[in-house]
Structure 1
Amino acid sequence: MKKTAFILLAAVIAISLALAGCSKREGSGNGGAPGDTRTPGSTASTPDNSSSDNAGAGNKKRITVYGTAADKAVQDVYEEIAQAFMKENPDIEVDLQFPGSEYENILKVKMAANDLPDVWDTHGWAVIRYGNYLADLRDEAWVSEMTDTIRDVVTDGDGKVHALVLAEAKDGLTYNADLLRQYDIEPPRTIDELMAAAEKLKTESNGEVMPFYFSGIDDWMIGQFFDYFATSLLISPQQNEAENLLNGTMDWDKWTPLAETFLEMYKQGYMNKDVLTAKYSDLPNLFAQGKVAFTLLGPSFADEVHKINPDVEIGLMPVPAWYPDDEPNFSGGERYTMGVWKDSKHLAEAKKLVAYFAKPENLAKFADVTKLPAGLKGIEADHEFTEYYRTYENIRVFPYFDRVYLPNGMWDVMCKTGTALLAEQVTPQQFSEKMKQEVERLNNK
């Protein structure tokens, strides 16, 4: 056992050294997209051993914090709040670290060695992946203020609260509000209304407006479609496949309508013809010019568009329902969080830091920089999507489909097979068969 622990610790150190000074930038979107992986922070530039004692700071207690944020603006907010906390608590040093694209791999090694940061971003996996390593925060003062849409996401069946949610993901469709007004289109409520809107945009613009834009090179954009609409098709309806997916008994033929609809969108000209060779990087400019109507991207997409055209109005809407008798939904849950290691040598100080980040004025800073709602009630934010979040505040939020209902590794399967579908390398039925085969294979690994 000692030998195994030594090997694991050596692996942690090796990865940490390899990542020194490394930085990866996030993009838009979620689950496996560039927005899912997150330059060195305030007091350290390399991932370090997690729960340090008083190393390098006299008698100060050092709290190591790992974050997934890659955008400099978001990192700056972490830094600002941490500096204010240390000023009020001179006996505590906050060591902020943002490891970049290897974040998940580093955390997995640290879990195996049971040598975790004092505080870390659970990035969508607070309960499922990290639950056994996190302290129970149910007695913290901020817990009573958790939003109705996030409470169940970070709370397990026994009532254990796993993390503070700094920014709550509510991912749906962003759209060019100016274009929808120009063509007299209301934000679609169902998939049929969305396809009707696409037909209207294509026809009345004489092909000048692409209803949707996808990239086969940056194929996470294609995976996004299947991840979002799988919830509308299989999870959101009253009669759903949630239990069957979890226990491995779902009839995967029920996936076929998703593939059929996506292929039909391509054949009907509802997306860019060059989808297989197109790049995500071309989208912000096209959207800013009014040539693309709908995207399956998160709100951070807005900043890229407004650098090109500050006057375009970008709207946000939930994912349309698949069935007329159902309601639209958001995909999401945790975006940026703070969970506390249950075995931290400085547990009280770590919880104190998290409570400081939970102050309304601090959560408001995160809301403004991320353009996302905070995980606590009553936080006043001021950005272009605030009115949309208020409009849709009662819309249900489901966890990202792949995070709950698919085994690790399936995100890539959805992206690659969705691209193959458009290339006519697989049929919709073969897509469903591929999903079934890969789910069974990965579950049996």
Structure 2
Amino acid sequence: MMVKTFSKVLVGSTALALIVAGCGNSSDTTTSTSSTAPAGTTAATAASKKDVTFSVIYATGDPATKQAVADSITAFTKANPHIKIKDLSETTTASYLDFIKTKDAVGEFPDLIEMRDTQLFADSGKIAELPKDLQSLFDTVPQVNGKVYNAPISLPAPQGIIYSKKAYADAGITEEPKTYADFIAAQEKLKAKGISPIVVGGKDIFHWGFWINKFFMDEMLAQDPHWNSKRSAGKASFTDAGPMKAMTLFTELFTKGYVDKGFMSTADNQTASMLVTGKAASLYSGPWMFPQIAQADPKFDFGWYPVPDQNGVVNVVGLAQPSGWSFSANAIKDPEKTAAISEFITFFFSKNQYANYLKIASAIPSTKEKITYEASPQLQEVLTMMADPKVVKTLQINSFWGDDQMPPTWRNWFYKLAQDWLVKGDFSVDYMKKADAEWDAAIKAMNK
């Protein structure tokens, strides 16, 4: 079997301490008012404080992370009854960026927001610099326009293949793929057994970024982190060899029968069920899926591995990026809201509370303080891989900022373009010419 025996891991670069044993007792991670609330915010003293309300929006596409954030909000308001939090987040099939834009258009831009497109909203003046005392909670947070706007909820998590150990064993796959060719050979073995090798949650637009970015990172971004700025300057093109190879490999994954045929109607939150029920052998996603899979079937035996490129190099998301909790520009003008939001952020990252969040979400901590929590064997595999110096850490095409920022509207447009050529089965250089034209038009619109 390809499953390894995992040991305890200490990843110094992320200030992470993982303890496999001794953290299973729920009392170690459950929030309590006395142990996790910042000084002066306990229930006993909160009654004397003036009532204040602030609104919040956070991404809800991943059920485990959504629950982890919701639990943090509930714990905070219980410890601080004078502070009310109006949750504006909703389950939607629209992209997170489009959802935020819609809220802004109807006058519901939140006071506190999980910000992912920091450059866009910083440039438009919608978000404010993170207060200095909150910046001190973290080792490093990238600046945008010379300022820190985000309290990073967690460090970027890599994506890889989450697979059924039984399906792989039945297909005779006994070791991890060392090259992309090995990976394809494994998919052929699974297909020969009559099982869909990979399930893709293509009904949700964000899910398309997983595989598309895997190939963009392999063929462009890992080698040239300034590819985006070169594209914007007309010095690179999607018709170049790297992007063409990336999307050719992406397309072949679907056209050669490695992806379950129902990808256009499968939602991201259905992929775990398809995996545990044996309708697919694997899915490509991040560690946030581990709790969802375990919840779907606690006895389901699954593993995880990164997908190497054709040269056997592993390129994964792993560099710090400007994302996380951000104050709105309007909220920061209100001293009472600013104080309440600051209390919430301090509470969110307090040792016990943050450990609880990380455990539920299978996330990688971002705080300067080392956080101890129970990690699954699959998450340990992720962390072991991230600590490997041979692994190349990079960013997705939409995660860069400054001169390397991707035009924000281009991302979902391109995801839909990819769907179009997959459904029609006619991928060609003409589609990539359209990608260049759309990028140029978006850059022109941004510069008006």
Q: Give the TM-score normalised by structure 1.
A: 0.70
Q: Taking structure 1 as reference, are residues 350 and 305 closer, same or farther at Cα in structure 2, changes over 3 Å only?
A: closer
Structure 2 equivalent of residue 402 of structure 1:
398
> What are the ranges of 5 or more consecutive residues in structure 1 without an aligned counterpart?
1-56
AA of the residue aligned to 1:438: E
Q: Taking structure 1 as reference, are residues 381 and 67 closer, same or farther at Cα in structure 2, changes over 3 Å only?
A: farther
Structure 1 residue 362: Cα displacement: 1.6
What is the distance in 2 between the residues matched to 1:267 and 1:113? 42
What is the distance in 2 between the residues matched to 1:438 and 1:319? 30
AA of the residue aligned to 1:256: M
Structure 2 equivalent of residue 340 of structure 1:
327
AA of the residue aligned to 1:98: L
What is the distance in 2 between the residues matched to 1:268 and 1:431? 20
Structure 2 equivalent of residue 82 of structure 1:
76
CA shift digits 1:370-400 (9 cap, x unpaired): 1212222522232424313421333555443
Identical positions, percent: 15
Alpha-carbon contact 1:176-1:290 (below 8 Å) kept = no
Deviates more, 1:408-417 or 1:297-306: 297-306
Q: Secondary structure at the match of 2:200?
A: coil
More relative contact order, 1 or 2 (CA 8 Å, 6+ apart)? 2
Q: Secondary structure at the match of 1:174?
A: strand
Q: Secondary structure at the match of 2:76?
A: helix
CA shift digits 1:263-298 (9 cap, x unpaired): 322343222245456665654333113442332223
User: Which of 336, 348, 351 is equivalent to 1:357?
Assistant: 348
Deviates more, 1:207-216 or 1:355-364: 207-216
What is the distance in 2 between the residues matched to 1:353 and 1:66? 11
AA of the residue aligned to 1:249: K
Alpha-carbon contact 1:321-1:329 (below 8 Å) kept = no
Structure 2 equivalent of residue 262 of structure 1:
250
Q: Taking structure 1 as reference, are residues 279 and 85 closer, same or farther at Cα in structure 2, changes over 3 Å only?
A: closer
Structure 1 equivalent of residue 180 of structure 2:
191
What is the distance in 1 between the residues matched to 2:59 and 2:230? 35
Q: Taking structure 1 as reference, are residues 62 and 436 closer, same or farther at Cα in structure 2, changes over 3 Å only?
A: same
Structure 1 residue 66: Cα displacement: 0.7
Q: Taking structure 1 as reference, are residues 209 and 305 closer, same or farther at Cα in structure 2, changes over 3 Å only?
A: same
Structure 1 equivalent of residue 415 of structure 2:
415
How many residue pairs align between the two structures?
Answer: 374
Q: Taking structure 1 as reference, are residues 114 and 262 closer, same or farther at Cα in structure 2, changes over 3 Å only?
A: closer
User: Which of 126, 143, 162 is equivalent to 1:155?
Assistant: 143
Structure 1 residue 401: Cα displacement: 1.6
What is the distance in 2 between the residues matched to 1:180 and 1:335? 38
Q: Secondary structure at the match of 1:249?
A: coil
Structure 1 residue 164: Cα displacement: 1.5
Structure 2 equivalent of residue 293 of structure 1:
281
Alpha-carbon contact 2:54-2:84 (below 8 Å) kept = yes
Q: Taking structure 1 as reference, are residues 432 and 354 closer, same or farther at Cα in structure 2, changes over 3 Å only?
A: same
Structure 1 equivalent of residue 437 of structure 2:
437
CA shift digits 1:219-269 (9 cap, x unpaired): 654443113321222111258724413434312213211222123223432
Q: Secondary structure at the match of 1:296?
A: strand
What is the distance in 2 between the residues matched to 1:277 and 1:164? 35
User: Which of 166, 190, 196 is equivalent to 1:201?
Assistant: 190
Q: Taking structure 1 as reference, are residues 187 and 413 closer, same or farther at Cα in structure 2, changes over 3 Å only?
A: farther
Q: Secondary structure at the match of 1:140?
A: helix
Q: Secondary structure at the match of 2:136?
A: helix
CA shift digits 1:77-128 (9 cap, x unpaired): 22333225516xxxx5242423324875675588799996443221x12344
Q: How does 1:17-416 map to 2 (within 5 A)?
A: 60=50, 62-70=52-60, 71=63, 73-83=67-77, 85-86=79-80, 93-100=83-90, 101=92, 104=97, 108=101, 117-122=110-115, 124-130=116-122, 132-137=125-130, 139-140=132-133, 143=136, 145-146=138-139, 151-152=140-141, 154-156=142-144, 158=146, 160-176=147-163, 178=165, 179-180=167-168, 183-188=172-177, 190-202=179-191, 206-214=192-200, 217-218=203-204, 220-237=206-223, 241-254=227-240, 255-275=243-263, 283-318=271-306, 320-321=308-309, 323-324=311-312, 326-330=313-317, 337-341=324-328, 343-346=332-335, 347-377=338-368, 378-384=370-376, 385-394=378-387, 397-404=393-400, 405-416=405-416
AA of the residue aligned to 1:251: S
Q: Secondary structure at the match of 2:398?
A: helix
Q: Taking structure 1 as reference, are residues 369 and 251 closer, same or farther at Cα in structure 2, changes over 3 Å only?
A: same
Q: Taking structure 1 as reference, are residues 315 and 161 closer, same or farther at Cα in structure 2, changes over 3 Å only?
A: farther
What is the distance in 1 between the residues matched to 2:221 and 2:251? 22
Q: Taking structure 1 as reference, are residues 274 and 145 closer, same or farther at Cα in structure 2, changes over 3 Å only?
A: closer
Q: Taking structure 1 as reference, are residues 245 and 308 closer, same or farther at Cα in structure 2, changes over 3 Å only?
A: same
Alpha-carbon contact 1:168-1:336 (below 8 Å) kept = no
Q: Secondary structure at the match of 1:315?
A: strand
AA of the residue aligned to 2:283: T
What is the distance in 2 between the residues matched to 1:198 and 1:177? 13
What is the distance in 2 between the residues matched to 1:285 and 1:231? 28
AA of the residue aligned to 1:379: I
AA of the residue aligned to 2:155: E
AA of the residue aligned to 1:86: N
Structure 1 residue 172: Cα displacement: 0.5
AA of the residue aligned to 2:435: M
Alpha-carbon contact 1:167-1:366 (below 8 Å) kept = no
Q: Taking structure 1 as reference, are residues 306 and 418 closer, same or farther at Cα in structure 2, changes over 3 Å only?
A: same
Alpha-carbon contact 2:55-2:111 (below 8 Å) kept = yes
